[in-house]
Structure 1
Amino acid sequence: MDRLARFEANRPRLLGLAYRLLGEASEAEDVVQEAYLRWDASTGVEVPEAWLTKVVTNLCLTRLSSARVRRERYTGPWLPEPVFTDRDEFGPLETAEQRESLSLGLLVLLERLTPPERAAFVLREAFGHSHREIGEILDLDETHVRQLYRRARQHVSEGRKRFTATAEQRRRITERFLAATVEGDVAALEKLLAADAVAWSDGGGKVSAARRPVTGRDKVARYFSGLARDPRAAHAEFTVRCINGEPGLAVHLAGALYAVVVLDPGDDGVVATRTIVNPDKLAFAAAQPV
C-alpha cells in the first residue's frame, strides 16, 4: 500500500477524532489535511496509525486553546457544527459509545473539559485506546492519564441524562416532534417535552435566533409552535436525517440547508433541543453528499 492509500485508509478515523476534539467539522478537515502534509514529508515511521493519531491529537490540542477564546466571545449560545452521518466519513459508529461520543449533546458537555481531559476522554471512549496508549499520544505517564480520564468522566456525567432508546424510537420521537411543530400543536409538543426542557439556538449573530436558552415545557412548546407561523415554514422542506449519530431534522429553504434540529430525549420526555441556523456552521453539512 502506497503512502497516499495508507493515509486515506485512516482518514475517516482521523476526521472523527479531530471533529470530536474540536466540535468543528471544517477545522477538523484542516487538521487532517495538515496531518497529511506532515505524513507525506515524514520518514522512518514504524507504526503509521499511531503516528497519525498522535499528530492529529496534538494539532487539535493546539487549536483548542484559541477556540475557547473565540467561543467565549460568541454571540448567543455556542453549539458544535452539525454533520450528517449517513455515511462513514467520521469513522465507525457501530457501538453506543461511538455514536454517543459524536452526539451534539456530548460535544457540548466536552466544552467543560480542559484540552488534555477532552483528549483523554475521546481517545478512551470513542476509540478504545488504553491509558498507556493515551499516555504515549499525549506524552504523559499512565497515572496522569488515568486522573485526566477520571476527571473528564466525572464532569461529563454530571451533565448527562442517559436515555436507553433505540435509533427507531428516537426517530419516531423526532417525527412526532416535527409533525407537532409544523401543525403548531402546542398540546402535542408539551406531551413530548420534559418539564425542565431547554431549547438552545445557535445563530451566531448571523441570522435571527434566540440569544438565550428557552426553558420550561410550556415556553419551549410555544417557541416551536410559533415557528409554524413564520411565512418561510410553508416553503420549507423537512427531512429526518442521521445527524451526529442520531436522528435529527434537516430544514431546507429553496434547496439550501437552512437549519438543523436535534432532540435530546430523556426518560420523561425531550430534555433539550439544539437548533443550528448559523450558515457558517452549516456549510460543511450542506456540502456533504446525500
Structure 2
Amino acid sequence: VQLNQVLFAAEAQKQPGDRLLMVDDATKLLAAGQEHSYSIQTATTADPLLGTTLKVTLVWTDPPATPLSQNPLVNDLDLVVTVNGGAPLLGNGAPDSVNTVEQVITTLPPGALATVAVRSGTGGITQGPQKYALVVTGPLQITSPPPSFPKPPPPRPPSDPGSPMGDAIAMGITIPLLAIAIGAGGCFLCRRNTSASSSPMLAAHGGGAQKVLPAGWSQHVDPTSGAPYYMNKSTGMTQWEPPPPPTVAPPPNKRLQAPWKAVQDPSSGRTYYYNT
C-alpha cells in the first residue's frame, strides 16, 4: 500500500473507505473448495490521485513445502475480479499455481460495482484452512465494512453437576476424614505437652519455681522457647543444665575431716570444699 496514494489531506474531508479497503481477519480462513466474495461499490467520479484505476492484491503465507518438490506451493489460492458482472479478471492475468501474491489492475466505469472473489485454486488447499489478506485501492464508496462472517456458536452449557446422592456420598467421606485429622492433631499436642512437662530442662526449672543456685549463678528465661537457662556471672558462661547445688561446707575454724578438701576457685578467688 502506497500511503501517499490512499491518504487524504485534512481539508479534503474524506474517509479512509473512499480509497482503501483491507481484509485481514484471522477468522476468515479458506478451506478446500470454498470461495469468499466481497462486493465493492465504487464512486461515480474519478479520484484526484487514483483516477478510475482499481487495484486488488491478494497475499497469503503458504505452509512449508516438501524439499525438492516440483511445485512448492502447498495451498493454491486464486483471485478473481469482475466489474458490473463482466468477464472475470484473474490474478496475475492467468491461473497462477506458483506465487503467493496475486494482483488485478483494471479501469472502472463511473459508479461501477466490483466483485472480488478469493477461491481455492487448481492446485487445491492441501494443508488448510488458509488465512489470507486482501487490499483494495481505488475510487471507492464504502460507507461500512463488508458484512462479517457469522460468529462461532456459543460455548456448550456446562455438564450436569451430578445428583444429590453423589454430593451426600462425598460429604459422608469428607466429614469422617476431617474428624480423624482433628483427633490426630489433638493427640499430638497432648503428647507434646506431656513430654515437655517431663523433660529434664523443665524439671530442673521446677515448674517455674526459682531454684537455689550456687553463688555467682543466676537463672534466666529464653524468650524464644520459654525454657530456663543459667549464667555464671563471673565467667559469662551460659548453659541449659542447672549448676550443681551448693556444697554444705563444714563449720569454720574446725579441722576438715576426710574426705573433705578446701580448694580455692581460680576465677573468683573464693574457697570451696570438695568431697573426694
The TM-score normalised by the length of structure 1 is 0.19
Structure with greater proportional helix content = 1
* Structure having the higher Rg: 2
> Going by fraction, where is strand more abundant, 1 or 2?
2
Q: What's the TM-score, normalizing by structure 2?
A: 0.19
